[in-house]
Amino acid sequence: MFSNKIILISGGTGSFGTQMLKSLIKTKVKEIRIFSRDEKKQEDLRRSLKDKRVSYIIGDVRDYKSTLSCTRKVDYVFQAAALKQVPTCEFFPLEAYKTNVIGTSNIIDASIENGVKKIVVLSTDKAVYPINAMGISKAMMEKVAISKARDVLTKKINCSICVTRYGNVMFSRGSLIPFLINRINNGQELTLTDPNMTRFMMSLEDSVNLVKEAFINGKNGDIYVQKSPAATIKNIAIALLRIFKKNNKIKIIGPRHGEKIHESLCTSEEMAKAKDEKKYFRIPADLRNINYDIHQNKNKISKLTEAYSSNNTYRLKVEEIIKLLKKTNQTNLKLIK
């Protein structure tokens, strides 16, 4: 499906972008464009991954001219550029808005202008029932993407826009597991916010497969969610200590700015209309226009349905977390020996 195609990954030097790049270079793709504003990460990636089909573009999704330039002659776009650290976004909410909302809007508009055929926008569980600036900006980003999906259908533009949501990605840069591993290796106490806090558990490979699923099967405005197990952060810490055969002390410090005890991947309203695609939930968009009275087909009244959250999905035991971490690590960052 990618043979002889030109693909853009915005935010391409991040954890997802790097993993997606490694997947794409195994195909007969014509060109992969890595678009980001971090020249150091681009240089590191260029040196570690030598492939003539990969080109590196310095730019910022906040700048429409940058997005217009990098999307020329592109077939498909994976929009992964984001500010995603919850406490950072709490202290700088306007910056989160500029990157996550305006930046995504720029990427989509530039892609449509340049005739891109398919766009997959990456979102997060924090966009569901958002209580922090990061989640609010991502929720707004989703609304912008779906609005533009509705618009291209109305105008009969040959472009499809889908969204994917996922929870905490194991071993991704700046996430909990690498943080804990670093403290274990340095003999430091493990600082946890709340031992009962739960998070969905996904691998980087899962995140790439989810995006590919949306790319292959998604219709305009669809949101794709992977069914995932969850774990408490205390059990994650215990699992890592057992893997490394260490006995670092655990210190509870309380939730940080904007943190939830549990995360959700689908609201109860979304679950009422979600399509079960075996490994995934597909949430179709309401693509009616605002003149509701003219529509012959009315949306069904939503039945009472439970939200899909890290509190009601399958909860991994410590032994299962150990097995998952070892399995995941073998195909990714190899932090655990």
User: What is the pTM assigned to this prediction?
Assistant: 0.92
103: alpha, beta or left? (left if phi > 0; alpha if psi -120 to 50): alpha
**In a structure prediction context, what are the per-residue pLDDT tens digits for the chain, which is 337 residues long?**
899 999 999 999 999 999 999 999 999 999 999 999 999 999 999 999 889 999 999 999 999 999 999 999 999 999 999 999 999 999 999 999 999 999 999 999 999 999 999 999 999 999 999 999 999 999 999 999 999 999 999 999 999 999 999 888 898 887 899 999 999 999 999 999 999 999 999 998 999 999 999 999 999 999 999 999 999 999 999 999 999 999 999 999 998 888 899 999 999 999 999 999 999 999 999 888 888 777 666 666 667 789 999 999 999 999 999 999 988 764 444 454 4
Do 150 and 284 contact (CB within 8 A), yes or no? no
Domains and CATH numbers, the chain: 6-166+204-227+265-306 (3.40.50.720)
Residues annotated as catalytic are 126
Do 328 and 281 contact (CB within 8 A), yes or no? no
